[in-house]
């Protein structure tokens, strides 16, 4: 059985601001539920195929999960999310194919049109769907408040601070072995990981001049970090040079240039990693990039020893 719902709301804010409220778990936790409910957990991986998951807590303390994925993302214009709603016993109740259109309105405002097409899998879901329209109106009331908070937030102070560091290691491995650990996708996946509380979402690697590498992951808090690199110089067993951007959710925090130099050291290899970073708009690195890089070099050493 399929049903359809359509609701609209005009927000006194730009499309960019209304769209932004859908784009991170931090925002979604504040509004994606009707009155008297709350959202203790949410996961928003804002890319096509990425997860959109919301846990709603009822006034009685029951947890209701909606789990889905992004089908389409047109920046500031349209979102399509395929959602599934589950009962407190994790039974699949219904699916809700959700289309959100962000339309320019008079005076710089935005009309949001939300259409959901439901497919019912459990008869117990019928009352929920019958009450979906007032529930969505209450949800849009919350969204309106969240958009107002985003709009009233002080503008970001633009700034750039610079930092650089160099890390040197000597390993009992050949330059070819170290180079493979740095450039082979399967070999690098064994050591290039953050640790507990972090789930890898995207891992892509194409090491060649002009090639790209992406590692995106979600933290327990719901925040998504993104490493996006472009390779410029690749000399097998000798040198790698690439630049990369780091994002936390939708905030770009840094742009860096990294160099790996490999030299023979007796029967082993001396690796020198040098990085120059530009930290953006008030982001305070406080030495964490160097500490994190040293942690990864230690993980690389363990991987080489285990090979």
3-state SS of 122-182 is CHHHHHHHHCHHHHHHHHHHHHHHHHHHHHHCCCCCCCEEEEEEEEEEEECCCHHHHHHHH
| In a shared domain, residues 6 and 148 | yes
Domain boundary among 133, 152, 171: 152
* pLDDT of 156 strictly over 70: no
Give the tens place of pLDDT for each residue, 24-38.
Answer: 888 999 999 999 899
* Both tokens assigned to 255: 């742009």
What is the reported pLDDT for 144?
A: 95
Q: What percent of the chain has pLDDT over 70?
A: 98
Rounded Cα distance, 188 and 179, in Å: 10
CATH number for position 182: 3.30.530.20
Q: Assess whether 184 and 274 both reside in one domain.
A: yes
Roughly how many angstroms between the first and final C-alpha of the chain, as a whole number?
55
Does residue 41 register a pLDDT over 80? Answer: yes
The full DSSP string for 83-110 is EEEE-TT--EEEEEEEEEEEEE-GGG-E
170 and 302 both lie in a single domain? yes
The answer to whether residues 299 and 233 belong to one domain is: yes
Mean pLDDT of the chain: 91
User: Do 166 and 146 belong to one domain?
Assistant: no
Helix, strand, coil percentages, rounded to 5, for the chain: 25, 50, 25
The two tokens of residue 169 are 């290691």
Boundary of a domain, candidates 152, 176, 206: 152
In this structure, are 300 and 222 located in the same domain? Answer: yes
CB-CB contact of 44 with 32 (8 Å): no
pLDDT at residue number 177: 97
Is the pLDDT at 278 greater than 50, yes or no?
yes
Other CB atoms closer than 10 Å to residue 53's CB: what's the count? 19
Give the model's pLDDT for residue 6: 94
Q: Lowest mean pLDDT: which of 59-63, 111-115, 216-220?
A: 216-220
Q: Residue 41 to residues 57, 207, 254: CA-CA distances in angstroms?
A: 9, 37, 28
Same domain, 119 and 18: yes
Claim to verify: residue 281 and residue 140 sit in the same structural domain = no
- 145 and 170, same domain (yes or no): no
Name beta bridge partners: 260.
240, 273
And the tokens for 184? 């082979």
Of residues 26 and 105, which shows the higher confidence score?
105
DSSP-derived 3-state class of residue 222: coil
Residue 293: strand, helix, or coil: helix
Domain that holds residue 202: 160-306
DSSP 303: H
pLDDT given at position 7 = 95
Domain endpoint, select from 130, 152, 174: 152
* Average pLDDT of the residues in 267-275: 97
> 249 near 26, Cβ under 8 Å?
yes
102, pLDDT greater than 60: yes
Contacts of 288 (CB under 8 A, 6+ apart): none
Q: Is the pTM of this model over 0.95?
A: no
Q: Are 204 and 217 in contact (CB under 8 A)?
A: no
Non-local (6+) Cβ contacts of 101 within 8 A are 77, 78, 112, 113, 114
Q: Nearest-CA neighbor of 193 among 277, 299, 294?
A: 299
Looking at the fold, whether 261 and 165 belong to one and the same domain comes out as: yes
Structural domains counted in the chain = 2
Convert the pLDDT of each residue in 168-220 to its tens digit.
999 999 999 999 999 999 999 989 876 677 888 889 999 999 999 999 888 87
User: What pLDDT sits at residue 2?
Assistant: 53
Both 142 and 184 in one domain: the answer is no
Q: Are 32 and 124 in contact (CB under 8 A)?
A: no
Could you tell me the two tokens for 275?
């990085």
Tokens at residue 98, please? 């959700």
pLDDT at residue 175, rounded to an integer: 97
Whether 165 and 186 map to the same domain: the answer is yes
How confident is the model at residue 249, as a pLDDT?
Answer: 78
**pLDDT of res. 1:** 44
């Amino acid at each position: 059985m399929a049903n359809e719902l359509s609701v609209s709301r005009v927000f006194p804010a730009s499309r960019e601001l209304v769209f932004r409220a859908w784009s991170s778990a931090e925002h979604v936790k504040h509004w994606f539920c009707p009155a008297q409910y709350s959202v203790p957990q949410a996961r928003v991986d804002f890319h096509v195929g990425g997860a959109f998951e919301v846990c709603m807590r009822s006034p009685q303390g029951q947890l209701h999960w909606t789990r889905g994925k992004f089908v389409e993302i047109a920046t500031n214009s349209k979102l399509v999310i395929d959602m599934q709603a589950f009962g407190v016993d994790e039974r699949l109740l219904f699916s809700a194919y959700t289309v959100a259109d962000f339309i320019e309105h008079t005076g710089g405002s935005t009309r949001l049109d939300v259409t959901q097409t439901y497919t019912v899998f459990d008869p117990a879901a019928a009352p929920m769907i019958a009450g979906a329209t007032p529930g969505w109106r209450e949800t849009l009331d919350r969204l309106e408040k969240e958009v107002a908070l985003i709009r009233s937030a002080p503008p970001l102070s633009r700034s750039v601070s610079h930092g650089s560091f160099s890390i040197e290691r000597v390993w009992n491995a050949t330059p070819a072995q170290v180079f493979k650990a740095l450039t082979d996708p399967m070999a690098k996946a064994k050591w290039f990981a953050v640790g507990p509380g972090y789930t890898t979402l995207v891992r892509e690697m194409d090491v060649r001049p002009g090639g790209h590498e992406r590692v995106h992951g979600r933290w327990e808090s719901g925040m998504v970090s993104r490493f996006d690199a472009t390779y410029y110089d690749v000399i097998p067993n000798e040198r790698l040079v690439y630049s990369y951007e780091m994002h936390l959710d939708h905030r770009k925090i840094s742009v860096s240039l990294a160099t790996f130099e490999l030299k023979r050291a007796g029967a082993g290899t001396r690796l020198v990693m040098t990085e120059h970073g530009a930290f953006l708009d008030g982001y305070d690195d406080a030495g964490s990039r160097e500490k994190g890089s040293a942690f990864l070099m230690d993980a690389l050493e363990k991987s080489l020893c285990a090979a």
